[in-house]
Amino acid sequence: MKVHNFLNEVLVLNTPTIINKNQFIERYCSEINENLTLANISKNGENLDIENLKDLTNMGYTYRYKVNANKFNNYYKLWFKNILKKVGLPHDNIIAHASVKKLEPKSHKVHTDSDNSFGNSHNVICRFLIPLTDGEPTCYFDKCMEDNRFYTRVDTNEFLVTDESNEVHNINIKYLYDIKTNEPIEIRDEYPDYDKLTHIKKSCLSGLKVHKIVNWKHGEIQLFPFNLLHSSTDLDTIKEKWMINGVLYDARIRR
């Protein structure tokens, strides 16, 4: 069954004062608990959506620091509650889970960030992203996936999906879901017109249109549907980008 989205657009709002990334990591984070690379997801170079990528060793990494949920919620929960109330989203009983990520060039493909730290115990309100450095923008597309699992696109109809046990499977799909209407739309040979997507393999952009381009600006937050397809637009012009990335849950609602 298609999941319900509380949010059907991408919102960009002001954040409270965020301390610099080093102080934030020292205050809220543990050691690096995971490092991710596209090579861990796909061993076959033909599946990679970055054009002209000849050597897997040149692929960028995403480094992730685990954020202490209790400390983070104690400091930021009231602000999240106020901002969710302001934009008409559930806000009375929220829980925020987050991680800090460092992205290197070529670290992101067309994907969703819909991993759910609470499994099936709470409903996801939306995801959020807070840049800790400036950088190339994020491109949000106009299509969602049908559920809250983590998807990475590798071809027109081929996706890699991570299940509840963190195993990755190849699947083929024919339909994507419109961000506004939630209606299924068959994937067709239409492509977004945006010059900063030239590093993405064309077939991985099939059936997508640009919904919103959001610049990375320290001091702003991006709220977006948890199953929305999006992509980094960075190439090799920057060394790294830092962000707080997470999920806002409604603690009262059980699936």
* Contact indicator for 18, 219 with CB cutoff of 8 Å: yes
Exposure b/e, 105-118, CB count within 10 A at least 16 = b: bbbbbbbbbbebee
Say whether pLDDT at 8 is over 90.
Answer: yes
Q: Report pLDDT for 51.
A: 45
Structure tokens at 216: 């990375």
| pLDDT (tens digit per residue) in 151-183 | 989 899 999 887 767 778 889 999 999 999 999
- What's the longest Cα–Cα distance across the chain? 50
HEC string for the chain: CCCCCCCCCCEEEECCCCCCHHHHHHHHEEEEEEEEEHHHHCCCHHHCCECCCCCHHHCCEEEEEEECHHHHHHHHHHHHHHHHHHCCCCCCCEEEEEEEEEECCCCCCCECCCCCCCCCCCEEEEEEEEECCCEEEEEEEEEECCCCCEEEECCCCEEEEECCCCCEEEEECCEEEECCCCCEEECCCCCCCCHHHCCECHHHHCCCCEEEEEEECCCEEEEECCCEEEEECCCCCCCCEEEEEEEEEECCCCC
* Contact indicator for 111, 229 with CB cutoff of 8 Å: yes
Domain of residue 234, residue span: 11-139+214-250
Split at pLDDT 50, 70, 90, the class of 42 is very low
Q: Report pLDDT for 39.
A: 47
Looking at the chain, the whole-number percentage of residues with pLDDT higher than 70 is 80
Q: Report pLDDT for 46.
A: 46
**Interval 61-76 mean pLDDT:** 87
**Interval 67-78 mean pLDDT:** 90
Q: What share of the chain is helix, strand, coil (3-state, %, to 5)?
A: 15, 40, 45
The verdict on residue 168 lying in a domain is: no
The verdict on residue 180 lying in a domain is: no
**Interval 73-91 mean pLDDT:** 92
* Contact indicator for 93, 252 with CB cutoff of 8 Å: yes
| Residue type for position 53 | L
The verdict on residue 227 lying in a domain is: yes
Split at pLDDT 50, 70, 90, the class of 32 is low
Average pLDDT over the chain, rounded to an integer: 82
Q: Choose between 76 and 103: higher pLDDT.
A: 76
- Helices 21-28 and 69-86: angle between axes, nearest 10 degrees: 120
Q: Report pLDDT for 227.
A: 93
The verdict on residue 4 lying in a domain is: no
Secondary structure (3-state) at 73: helix
The verdict on residue 236 lying in a domain is: yes
Q: Report pLDDT for 125.
A: 92
Q: Choose between 49 and 82: higher pLDDT.
A: 82
Short-list 192, 183, 203, 173, CA closest to 46: 203
Q: How far apart are CA 227 and CA 142, in angstroms?
A: 11
Structure tokens at 21: 């990334």
Say whether pLDDT at 84 is over 80.
Answer: yes
Phi, psi of 128 (to 5 degrees): -140, 155
CATH of the domain at 15: 2.60.120.10
The verdict on residue 31 lying in a domain is: yes
| pLDDT (tens digit per residue) in 177-228 | 999 999 999 999 999 988 888 778 889 999 999 999 998 888 899 999 999 9
The verdict on residue 205 lying in a domain is: no
Looking at the chain, the whole-number percentage of residues with pLDDT higher than 90 is 39
The verdict on residue 198 lying in a domain is: no
Short-list 126, 129, 137, CA closest to 18: 129
| Residue 13 bridge partners (DSSP) | 221
> What's the domain count of the chain?
1
